Amino acid sequence: MNNFLYQLIDIVLVLCIAPLVTGIAVKTRARLLMKKGPSVFQPYRDLLKLLRKEVTLPETASWLFRAIPYGVFAMSWLAACLVPTFSSGLWFGKAADLIAIIALLGSARFLLSLAALDPGTSFGGLGSSRESFISSLAEPAMIMIIFTLALVAKSTDLSCISSFMMSGQAGLRVSLWLALASFVLVAIAENGRIPVDNPSTHLELTMVHEAMILEYSAKYLALLEAASQLKLVLYLSLMMTIFFPFGMTSPGNEIAQLPVAILVYLAKMAMGAVILAFFESLVAKMRLFRIPSFLGAAFMLALLATLLLFVSRSL
């Protein structure tokens, strides 16, 4: 019964806090740049405003263009629900592991690229090709990170990985720090954050994700924005679950630990958003042809983490 209750809370929690995490990141970055910035609740207002607007679609768009936002949102939400946020051993966690989460995100990206190409506009094709280019560089690094974690914890199950990390058996391994550094670079690229992409720009030379959703409006745009916010929460949750799993509970523990675990999780999400904003305020958007070097560094860090594991075991 506790498993079902904890999973239900997790499903609602990730959906409710996704706009807030984005709002904290935007507000913090604005304050660091000596600006007032919008309220942390502005993303909620933007989503409600979009849901109330009338839908306008390109004349050349097919039914696929209207259906894909629902698919992208559902896959992103499901992937976020598979991550043990405040508790390990959740109901959905038994049915999928880290590889399934990456596969769901990859499927959502494929659908979004398809939708961007569907109306036949130049911006959609531009954004789709850039997104595919970046993801083709990020996925090998992510696979190496999963490989490293699977070698350390002997499982790709996130509950097993977080339990192993909390047990203290992992220790202070250099491989894990390298994997964390690689994961941060991949997460920045996958979420379209500075310096790889700028989510607040609409300039032709710099747009990636925004170019893909430029033709969408009203409820369809709200679904895609919500999916993007869920993806950011997913990557922050993955980082906290794998590398900083302190404060988590499990359905087998006393239910009195649940409020504390949720508060610790919310604090970690807020801290992650603040650190992201701080990093974004220090760097500038890089040119597109420099992204392979950025993600090449992520792949090399992950590869080095894996090789160090093999070397340390053979000694």
> pLDDT 10s per residue in the chain (315 long)?
677 888 899 999 999 999 999 999 999 999 998 888 899 999 999 999 999 999 888 888 889 999 999 999 999 999 999 988 888 878 877 777 888 999 999 999 999 999 988 888 888 888 888 888 899 999 999 999 998 988 888 888 888 888 888 887 776 678 889 999 999 999 999 998 888 887 776 666 667 878 888 889 999 999 999 999 999 999 999 999 898 888 888 877 788 888 999 999 999 999 999 999 998 888 888 888 889 999 999 999 999 999 988 887 665
What pLDDT score does 163 carry?
Answer: 83
**CA–CA distance, 150 with 296 (Å, rounded to integer):** 22
Name the pTM for this structure.
0.94
Query: Which bin fits 90, alpha (ψ -120 to 50), beta or left (φ > 0)?
Result: beta
* pLDDT in the model for residue 240: 92
Residue 202 has what pLDDT? 66
Exposed/middle/buried for residue 16 (C-beta within 10 Å: 0-12, 13-18, 19+): exposed
Distance CA 148, CA 170 (A): 12
Q: What span, in angstroms and rounded, lies between the C-alpha atoms of 267 and 269?
A: 5
Assess contact for 202 and 210: CB atoms under 8 A: yes
Q: What's the pLDDT at 22?
A: 93
Closest Cα to residue 114, out of 73, 157, 74, 64?
A: 64
pLDDT for 204: 64
Separation of first and last alpha carbons in the chain: 47
